[in-house]
Amino acid sequence: AVAVFCAVGGVEPQSETVWRQADKYGVPRLAFVNKMDRVGANFISVVDMMKERLGANPVPLQIPYGAEAEYRGFVDLIEMKTYVFDDSTMGAEFEAIDIPEELKDEAELYREMMIEALSDHDDDLMEAFLGGEEITTEALQDAVRKATLISAVTPVFCGSAFKNKGVQALLDAVVTYMPSPVDLPPI
């Protein structure tokens, strides 16, 4: 399942109901924090609400690049690249750039938190992390997939669906991290 949360409203009562059903039936989930371009958007607040109100273990795989009217895109914490969307094309065109200086420290912090959370469920990743080795994109993706399939973590993405910012990355994540019908037993 893909749980969609408003960047302003956060976790709403109907979201809690659906989340509990997904818990009951062991449905793996991704989360998408939508409407990052609206006044009052707060990505981290929504992630915190997921922990508090849903008892979830949200692990951001992206952090926003800007918010509200200044929302430009996101930093991909797996690839450590920033994706900036062109407003004139309604997000159809984007550019992958190096992480801006003002976001580097925050991106490093959230990447480290992501790796720590995933290391709890992947021994190879833990060894590489504790050994100070460079961790590959493939190793991180494998760890995210394993932890997602057993519902140990909920990968969190951000964007603005109306302006098509971040939607393709979310769809790619569904293919990369979510189970195929043969991965899980019937409900």
Encode pLDDT of 104-123 as tens digits.
999 999 999 999 999 999 98
Quick one: which H or E segment has residue 4?
A: strand 2-6
Residue 187 has a pLDDT of 67
**Full-prediction pTM beyond 0.85?**
yes
Of 66, 64, 86, 67, which Cα lies nearest the Cα of 76? 64
Residue 184 has a pLDDT of 66
Work out the average pLDDT over 98-104: 95
What pLDDT digit, counting tens, does each position of 51-70 carry? 999 999 999 999 999 989 89
Of 159, 92, 60, 78, which Cα lies nearest the Cα of 125? 78
DSSP state at residue 183: T
The conformational region for residue 2 under phi > 0 = left, psi -120 to 50 = alpha, else beta, is beta
One-letter amino acid of 24:
K
